[in-house]
Amino acid sequence: MAKYMSMEHLRYVLFDVMEGEQLFKFERFQDHDKDSMNIFFDSIKDFSDQELYPCFREMDEQPAHYDNGKIVVHPALEKILPQTGELGLVAAPFDYEDGGLQMPLTFHTAAMFIAEAANNNVPGYPGLTGGAANLIATFGSKVLKEQYVPNMLTQEWGGTMCLTEPQAGSSLSDITTTATPSENGSYKIKGQKIFISGGDHEYSSNIIHLVLARIDGAPAGTKGISLFVVPKKRINGDTLENNDVLTAGDFQKMGQRGYCTTHLVFGENDDCQGWLLGEANFGLKYMFQMMNGARIAVGRSGVAISTAAYYASLQYANERPQGRRLTNTGQKDLSQGQTLIINHPDVRRMLFLQKAVAEGSLALMLQTALYHDLHMVSEGAEKEKYYFLEELLTPILKTYPAEMGQTSVSNGLQILGGYGFCSEFVLQQYHRDIRIMSLYEGTTGIQSLDLLGRKVTMKGGKAMMLIGQEMGATINEANTYDELKPYAKKLSEQMHLTTKVVGFLTGFAQKGEFERFLSDATLFMDFFGTIVLGWQWLKLATAAKKALVTGDKTQTEEFFESQIHTMKFFFKYEIPKTAGLAQSMMDTEVLTLKEEKELIL
């Protein structure tokens, strides 16, 4: 079987770089240790090798589809979905009292990454079930929790998040699905939701939808949105009965074709019951808890796909002979046989780009999850610190592995030459699959508005100050090694440039020119995302250098040297991009505001 991820690299980042074991000293996580986590990872890797990877291509070739009122998904899911429950992929992060294992998100995310690199069509099912169950466990009444959470944690029942409507995609304030109070304490739900992932299939005996809707008479906009638990089949004593949730279709997609994306109609026959979660009109706030988790999960998918694509093109480059290396005189030595393409500098550049994006993004993913866990278990000022850091990094994690992941997978496809374009090879599937990551869970445009408009400015720039301190700590450590000093200096210069750009852009906000302030938010995302990745690479390289110097090596010498080399690659080929982006952002000429010249159709 082809390699699709590296357990050695994952363990290195988790334990040596992020020092994930620090979490086990907190009471919440005290029952776990490095050995138990490694056993968990091994079980997920075996499952991924034996069940997920073998049907990855088939799920694309036999996509989920709508047939006569039913959604048909790949038959392998009949066995796979219950296994995701048995292995703990849904329940692991939940509290003991809810039936969970109180596993840190950092380790759960690492496990999901393994499964996702093997087959990115599958982890969305347990992922959304876990997210929906978490909302019920956090905001639901005792009755709702008892009725739904246990069956969801085993993945016997699936879960979804139902936000999007035809006229309300990015703009959730325009949701029109209604909820009318009934005498029995439930609400009658009426409306349509589109693009609902995992929304219907035959391998879950029930599907629990978490639906955003407006209670009759609620205020307009986001302040009038409530959250409801709407099962496909409602509980009536010991039996389940239909709850008037109709599946109208399955969207046919360019990628992630094994993962169904449904169109659902609620209350066509006026008989769809939903149960209010938490307080009325706080629905969007509650849903954001699930959406933040889902954004970390989408970032994870981007990391997983770009990782799998990297190993696929690396293997190809090691096997494909083509052309000859140039001699010192610039001539091709035709007396030699063909060389492997991995020996051509341009192919090596593309492979290093893939490695830099995939492994740097993996570090960012685990860093963000670590801040989440530390926020959860810390107190006072520490708690606030980790909250800000997680909030700042979440839109970047959602976006960088999606956007740069596409570039990286595209380079991977290029390495295969014409074969990269052919269905017989897997790169084209990764290329199609990763495209969704910058669209769902808030497009790149929306994430960028969140980063610059909300996260950078919140509490007078507190999150930016804190991330500056974190980067400063990495710079100080890197500065203890001569080889790393030039890169520490470069990162420090990038931090100064960031201060300049933020000062320039926020100047518009202070003058009340908000559209101008945010007009280049996506450029800012590209700019700051690249710097954050530079920070992660310096961190990876510093840990590698430390291991080489102290001789305290968990991996081979080549492994550590390769980490340092890839960091240098990132600083040479990626970091310089920020200068051009800064120049565009600080240009006084504005070309994209509505008042400028019109676009002609």
Ligand X SMILES: Cc1cc2nc3c(=O)[nH]c(=O)nc-3n(C[C@H](O)[C@H](O)[C@H](O)COP(=O)(O)OP(=O)(O)OC[C@H]3O[C@@H](n4cnc5c(N)ncnc54)[C@H](O)[C@@H]3O)c2cc1C
User: Which span (43-51, 386-394, 437-445, 584-592) binds ligand X, by CB under 6 A?
Assistant: 437-445
Is 31 or 515 the residue whose CB approaches ligand X more closely? 515
Residue 294's alpha-carbon distances to 102, 131, 359, 437, in angstroms, are 19, 7, 21, 11
> For ligand X, which is the closer residue by CB, 291 or 416?
291
The C-alpha atoms of residue 125 and residue 79 are separated, in whole angstroms, by 13
* Contact pattern for ligand X over residues 112 through 151, marking x by CB under 6 A: ----------------------------------------
Give the ranges where 62-120 is alpha helix by DSSP (H). Answer: 77-86, 105-118
CA distance 83 to 200: 19
User: In the bound complex, what is the minimum distance in angstroms from residue 145's beta carbon to ligand X?
Assistant: 23
Nearer to ligand X by Cβ, of 87 and 291: the residue is 291
Binding mask 311-350 for ligand X (x = CB under 6 A): ----------------------------------------
Report in angstroms how near the CB of residue 181 gets to ligand X at its nearest. Answer: 24
**Alpha carbons 51 and 71: distance in angstroms, whole number:** 22
Report the nearest approach of ligand X to the CB of residue 126 (Å): 14
For the segment 568-597, give every residue that binds ligand X (CB under 6 A).
none
Minimum distance from residue 458 beta carbon to ligand X (Å): 19
Least distance to ligand X, CB of residue 593, Å: 12
CB of 378 to ligand X, least distance (A): 32
Residue whose CB is less far from ligand X, 100 or 131? 131
Distance CA 303, CA 404 (A): 10
The stretch among 114-122, 325-333, 444-452, 461-469 that binds ligand X (CB under 6 A) is 444-452
Smallest distance, ligand X to C-beta of residue 172, A: 9
Residue nearest to ligand X (CB): 169
Provide the mask over 397-436, with x wherever binding to ligand X is found by CB under 6 A and - wherever it is not: ---------------------------------------x
Among positions 253-312, residues that touch ligand X (CB under 6 A) are 253, 261
Amino acid letter, 49: D
CA 593 – CA 597 distance, rounded (Å): 9
**100 in Cβ contact with 85 (< 8 Å):** no
- Segment contacting ligand X by CB under 6 A, of 147-155, 365-373, 439-447, 543-551: 439-447
Does residue 245 bind ligand X (CB under 6 A)? no
**Residue 253 contacts residue 261 (beta carbons within 8 Å):** yes
Adjacent-strand bridge partners of 245: 266
CB atoms within 10 A of CB 555: 16
Instruction: For residue 10, give both structure tokens.
Output: 């994952």
Q: Which is nearer to ligand X, 72 or 497 (CB)?
A: 72
Please select the residue that binds ligand X; options are 440, 487, 528, 569, rule is CB under 6 A: 440
Q: Please, which residue, 99 or 169, has the CB nearer to ligand X?
A: 169
Q: Are 307 and 5 in contact (CB under 8 A)?
A: yes
The whole-angstrom distance between residue 400's C-alpha and the CA centroid of its chain comes to: 9
Q: How far is the CB of 86 from ligand X (least distance, A)?
A: 24
CB 374 within 8 A of CB 418: no
Distances (CA, A) of 122 to 61, 158, 231: 15, 12, 21
Q: Decide whether 165 or 359 has the Cβ nearer to ligand X.
A: 165
The footprint of ligand X on residues 168-227 (CB under 6 A) is 169-170, 195-197
Binding mask 82-111 for ligand X (x = CB under 6 A): ------------------------------
Nearer to ligand X, 307 or 447 (CB): 447
Q: How far is the CB of 159 from ligand X (least distance, A)?
A: 10
**Closest to ligand X by CB, 171 or 322:** 171
Q: 160 or 206: whose CB is closer to ligand X? A: 160
Question: Please, what is the minimum distance in Å from the beta carbon of residue 165 to ligand X?
Answer: 8
Report residue 446 as tokens: 């929306």
Fill in the per-residue mask, 152 to 171: x = in contact with ligand X (CB under 6 A), - = not in contact.
Answer: --------xxxxx----xx-
Token pair listed for 348: 């090596």
The one-letter amino acid code at 224 reads G
Residue 151 in 3-state DSSP? helix
Total residues binding ligand X (CB under 6 A): 21
Pick the closer one to ligand X by CB: 120 or 160. 160
Taking CB under 6 A as the criterion, the residue among 235, 439, 473, 549 binding ligand X is 439
Q: How far is CA 97 from CA 142, 145, 179, in A?
A: 12, 11, 31
Beta-strand pair 178-181/187-197 = antiparallel
Q: Is 445 in the site for ligand X (CB under 6 A)?
A: yes
Based on its alpha-carbon atoms, the radius of gyration of the chain, rounded to whole angstroms, reads 25
The C-alpha atoms of residue 447 and residue 466 are separated, in whole angstroms, by 20
Asked whether the beta carbons of 257 and 222 are under 8 A apart, the reply is no
H/E stretch holding 291 reads helix 283-319
Nearest approach, Cβ of residue 258 and ligand X (Å): 12
**For residue 81, what are its two tokens?**
């979905």
- 157-162 and 206-215 strand pairing: parallel
CA gap 204, 284 in Å, rounded: 27
Separation CA 284–CA 265 (nearest Å): 20
- Residue 305 or 370: the one with the smaller Cβ distance to ligand X is 305
Residue corresponding to tokens 């079930």 = 129
Residues at the site binding ligand X, with contacts judged by CB under 6 A? 160-164, 169-170, 195-197, 253, 261, 436, 439-443, 445-446, 449
